[in-house]
Amino acid sequence: MKYYILFGPPGAGKGTQATAMVEKYNLNHISTGALLRKEIAAGTELGIQAKTLIEKGCLVPDEVVEGMIENEFKTVTGVDGFLLDGFPRTLPQADALDQILARNGSEVTATVSIMIPDEMIMERIKGRALKEGRADDASEDIINNRIVTYHNQTEPLIEYYSKAGKYNEIDGIGTIDEVRDRIFSVMDKF
């Protein structure tokens, strides 16, 4: 089993590129953001708690997403691997992922990081807001908070995976197809 992490700031295009990646490499796409939005739509206890945090641009507690990930690993079959999109997002989550995989004699295969500058994050998310109507895309204040959260809590993962020799960064500026081809040329190595 391959375990790929799709990494990058909010709005980098992870969701868009994930679709092409799962198809080409027969992966199961796990987006913690999408799983959380499903819980919110279903009105579950977890969803109600997550909603308030997400709509402020904050992260939900590590244990919540870790539980969701472990559950997905257990229930999905018939694939060559998993594409983790939006997870891990904090150092404790990265540590938990290593432990979950180690229990099954496995490890992270590679991290594919799509990088875009902060100015572009705002521009892209505002464009997406018009199409998708996500509550956390609705105001500049929330988007700014997500950018700050990314720099403070998620960016340290770059060093974590670089040290492990598992960090691959690609330039997220360009057309969807250009970015996709850059990703494929990295993934073809594994």
Segments in 9-90 forming alpha helices (H): 14-25, 32-42, 45-54, 62-75
Of 48 and 185, nearer to ligand ADP (C-beta) is: 48
Active site residue: 14, 37, 180, 182, which one?
14
Out of 37, 51, 124, 146, which one is annotated catalytic? 146
The CA-atom distances, in angstroms, between 53 and each of 59, 112, 140 are: 6, 27, 16
Minimum CB–partner distance for residue 172 and ligand ADP (Å):
12
Min CB(64)–ligand ADP separation in Å: 7
Q: Rounding to the nearest 10 degrees, give the CA dihedral for residues 120, 126, 128, 133.
A: 150
Query: Which of 155/185 has CB closer to ligand ADP?
Result: 155
Q: Helix, strand, or coil here: 82? A: strand
The token pair at 9 is 């700031």
Q: What is the CA radius of gyration of the chain?
A: 16
The count of other CB atoms within 10 Å of the CB of residue 140 is: 10
Least Cβ distance, residue 44 to ligand ADP (angstroms): 15
| Nearest to ligand ADP of 130, 188 (CB atom) | 130
Alpha-helical (H) ranges within the chain are: 14-25, 32-42, 45-54, 62-75, 91-103, 118-132, 140-149, 156-163, 176-187
Q: Which residue is nearest to ligand ADP (CB)?
A: 33
Closer Cβ to ligand ADP, 17 or 168, answer by number: 17
Q: Is 182 a catalytic residue?
A: no
Three-state DSSP state, 184: helix
Catalytic residue at 180? Answer: no
Binding region for ligand ADP (CB under 6 A) = 10-11, 14, 32-33, 36, 53-54, 58-60, 65, 86-87, 89, 93, 136, 146
CB of 105 to ligand ADP, least distance (A): 24
Closest contact distance (angstroms) between CB of 149 and ligand ADP is: 7
Task: Based on the residue annotation, tell me whether 124 is a catalytic residue of this protein.
Answer: no
The catalytically annotated residue of 89, 124, 180, 182 is 89
- CB-nearer residue toward ligand ADP: 44 or 185: 44
Residues acting as catalytic residues? 14, 89, 128, 134, 146
